[in-house]
Structure 1
Amino acid sequence: METTNLFRLDGRIALVTGGSRGIGKMIAAGFIAQGAKVYISSRKPAACAEAAVELGPNCIALPQDVSTVAGCQALAAQIAALEPRLDILVNNAGAAWGAPFEAFPESGWDKVMDLNVKSPFFLTQALHDLLKASGRREQPAKVINITSIDGIRLNPQETYSYHASKSALIYLTRRMAARLVRDAINVTSIAPGAFASEMNRVARDHGDAVAKLIPARRIGVDEDMAGAAIYLASRAGDYVIGETITVDGGVAHANTGSGFSE
């Protein structure tokens, strides 16, 4: 059995949405380090271009707002004009919204549900032909949805649409996996916990305090996220289908309930 290249991505073509910062950028950097050519997309062209320069010549910026179906289709058309296939799609672009129950606005519901649930589905749909062009039984194409441990367990914040959207995306991952496996496309998800990012400013700005509430006693770092994504994207993860992997230092599944491990 050949094991030396289990985690390599040489010659693979990937697209990471929300790839200019945070978790998306961590994943893009990990893929590039394993030999992949990575397109990153975000709605801010300058930030996207800056990140691509930082990540090196195997990273290409494709700015696009994927919060609408039209935006998803436009991004798919951009990729199709550049590549004959797509080996790996990471649906990472997302949004959060917090507000008290009594005042939670429709705009905060629709924005989050559209970007976190609707967009991953319709972007994957728009890229279906390119993913099928890559997928083979001996080397399936990969779709990795970035969900959240907030789709598995509650946090203390009143983030109603975010909780609902991430739970929905975890189950949508399973439904999409059941269909797309017929085309040699494996669909999985990663549910991150506390990683320092613009979306998770508490972990970014108060990492030491947050770490005390995590069984592993630290917040996540770039290698933790990159490692999980590389596993699912590479030969090592070829037999993983429909699964959600939590990457959270034990918060969702190894917590005593007090917020501290024994």
Structure 2
Amino acid sequence: MHPYFSLQRRTALVTGGSRGIGRMIAKGLLEAGAKVYICARDGAVCAQTAEELSAFGDCRSFTADLSSEAGVQTLVSQLTDEIDSLNILINNAGATWGAPLESYPDKAWEKVMRLNVTSVFSCIQQLLPLLRKAASADNPARVINIGSVAGINTISMQAYAYGPSKAAVHQLTRLLAKNLVHEHINVNLIAPGHFPSKMTGHLVTDAEALAENLGEIPMHRWGKEEEMAALAISLASTAGAYMTGNIIPLDGGCTL
């Protein structure tokens, strides 16, 4: 690997790293040389993923339910017992909920906002001591939030809380980037379009819905694992050292 993109001797945490986009990014960081911790609510699945990803590097897992403040605190405590600095934080854990507008429940709104927005803020806030220890002018610590094109366009598929939650994370990214740049902590965001994941799994089994979905994407395809991983590696490596506060769509042209 070219040294511009090497993550040797760097440590990363990927929340929601057991599957989907989180797993794609975790694998890419491992292949670039980082030591990677992943966490997910389902500890058994997360441990199995870490075992599988260990074929690519040093990967370890934590059980963590980030939908509560106590869950974030538990994760931070576990991680602090393991490491004394954190170079890369990937805030990927998230949720969605679809229902008709007239019957969209309050509990759906609260769940999505709690995990997609509040937990992102809490993870960054509580992991600041570890990020600060890793940060330097020559090699800033990196926070990479995972937003969505749903936070930019208006294709909601009746997931009324999801798009607003991601738009909030986009703005939070800019605010924190401005506040933390003087501490040598870069904060950027990837706004994915459609990638294979549990969230898009229902489309795979519905040929008509899949065809309609692909028709809305200018490139007429979903993103690939290596494309997601490559962008994350770029932001985490020397290639992204002079970038902060950026919202980067990775969407095949959906936001055009």
Judge same fold: TM > 0.5, yes or no.
yes
- Write the distance in 2 (CA, Å) between the matches of 1:179 and 1:156: 31
Q: Is the 8 A contact 2:156 2:162 kept in 1?
A: no
The count of aligned residue pairs is 251
1:199 offset after TM fit, Å? 1.2
Q: Is the 8 A contact 2:235 2:241 kept in 1?
A: yes
Is 1:26 the counterpart of 2:29? The answer is no
Partner of 1:178: 178
Is 1:122 the counterpart of 2:122? The answer is yes
Is 1:243 the counterpart of 2:246? The answer is yes
Q: Normalization by structure 2: what TM-score?
A: 0.95
Q: Is the 8 A contact 2:150 2:156 kept in 1?
A: no
Is 1:140 the counterpart of 2:140? The answer is yes
Give 3-state SS (helix, strand or coil) of 2:46's partner: helix
AA of the residue aligned to 1:189:
L
Partner of 2:14: 16
Q: Is the 8 A contact 1:86 1:131 kept in 2?
A: yes
- Measured on the aligned residues, the alpha-carbon RMSD in Å equals 1.4
For residues 52-201 of structure 1, the aligned pairs below 5 Å read 52-56=50-54, 57-201=57-201
Q: Is the 8 A contact 1:198 1:204 kept in 2?
A: no
Q: Is the 8 A contact 1:147 1:169 kept in 2?
A: yes
**CA-to-aligned-CA distance 1:12-44 (integer Å, 9 cap, x gap):** 100000000000000000000000000000000
Give 3-state SS (helix, strand or coil) of 2:24's partner: helix
**CA-to-aligned-CA distance 1:99-148 (integer Å, 9 cap, x gap):** 11111101000000000000000011110000000000100000000000
Q: Is the 8 A contact 1:195 1:204 kept in 2?
A: no
Give 3-state SS (helix, strand or coil) of 1:60's partner: strand
Give 3-state SS (helix, strand or coil) of 1:6's partner: helix
Structure 1 pair 8–204 and aligned structure 2 pair: CA distance change class (3 A)? farther
Partner of 1:258: none
Stretches of structure 2 lacking an aligned partner (at least 5 in a row): none
1:211 offset after TM fit, Å? 2.8
- Write the distance in 2 (CA, Å) between the matches of 1:159 and 1:12: 37
Structure 1 pair 47–189 and aligned structure 2 pair: CA distance change class (3 A)? same
Give 3-state SS (helix, strand or coil) of 1:23's partner: helix
- Write the distance in 1 (CA, Å) between the matches of 2:39 and 2:203: 24
1:4 offset after TM fit, Å? 3.5
1:204 offset after TM fit, Å? 4.1
Q: Is the 8 A contact 2:117 2:165 kept in 1?
A: yes
Q: Is the 8 A contact 1:203 1:219 kept in 2?
A: no
AA of the residue aligned to 1:212:
G
Q: Normalization by structure 1: what TM-score?
A: 0.93
Give 3-state SS (helix, strand or coil) of 1:109's partner: helix
- Write the distance in 1 (CA, Å) between the matches of 2:108 and 2:187: 28
Structure 1 pair 203–240 and aligned structure 2 pair: CA distance change class (3 A)? farther
**CA-to-aligned-CA distance 1:204-242 (integer Å, 9 cap, x gap):** 445862333311121111011101111111110011101
Give 3-state SS (helix, strand or coil) of 1:191's partner: strand
AA of the residue aligned to 1:231:
S
Q: What percent of counterpart residues are identical?
A: 47
Stretches of structure 1 lacking an aligned partner (at least 5 in a row): 254-262
1:9 offset after TM fit, Å? 0.5
